[in-house]
Amino acid sequence: MKPKLFLLLTIFLFIGCASNGAERKPMRSKNFISQEEINELTIARTAKDAIEIARPTWLRGRGIDPSVFMNGMLMGDLDQLGNISIISVKEIKFLPSAEATTMYGTNNMGGVIEIKSK
């Protein structure tokens, strides 16, 4: 009886762990938009469009809006995202307030949207 039970449990375990055949996509970082992901956003024309499609939570109010930096230079507030062509963007990163203030100073308590150009 025990060998049959063992065999039954082994088959059940094997079937439970088997893949359903669907290809799994890697999880995307909640604070990073890569060049590959930007290329998939075919309807995006500006950095703002890309963020609205891929990571809309970055633009939602937390009391203080994030600052926008491009290649380490302050561009301004969120309105500047509409002036940055997606064609020129290599990657976009969101830095939460603790990281943003460490990297860019205490005037960035709302975080930073950091854009690197091609």
Spell out the per-residue pLDDT of the chain, length 118, in tens.
Answer: 566 666 656 665 566 555 555 555 567 789 999 999 999 999 999 999 999 999 999 998 778 999 999 999 999 999 999 999 999 999 999 999 999 999 999 999 999 999 999 9
In this structure, CATH architecture of domain 30-117: Beta Complex (2.170)
HEC profile of the chain: CHHHHHHHHHHHHHHHHCCCCCCCCCCCCCCEECHHHHHHCCCCCEHHHHHHHHCHHHHCCCCCCCEEEECCEEEECHHHHHHCEHHHEEEEEEECHHHHHHHHCCCCCCCEEEEEEC
